[in-house]
Amino acid sequence: MNSDQTEGRWREFTAKVKQQWGDLTDDEVLQAEGNIDEIAAKIQQKYGDSKEAVATKLNQLMEKFEK
pTM: 0.81
- Distance separating alpha carbons of residues 53 and 40, to the nearest angstrom: 10
Q: How much is the pLDDT for 19?
A: 93
Domain boundaries, the chain: 3-66
**pLDDT at 56 > cutoff 90:** yes
Q: 20-38: per-residue pLDDT in tens? A: 999 999 999 888 888 999 9
CB 10 within 8 A of CB 4: no
Q: Write out the CATH class of domain 3-66.
A: mainly alpha
Please state, as a whole number, how many other Cβ atoms lie within 10 Å of the Cβ of residue 62. 14
- Distance separating alpha carbons of residues 47 and 38, to the nearest angstrom: 14
Minimum mean pLDDT range among 1-10, 23-32, 46-55: 1-10
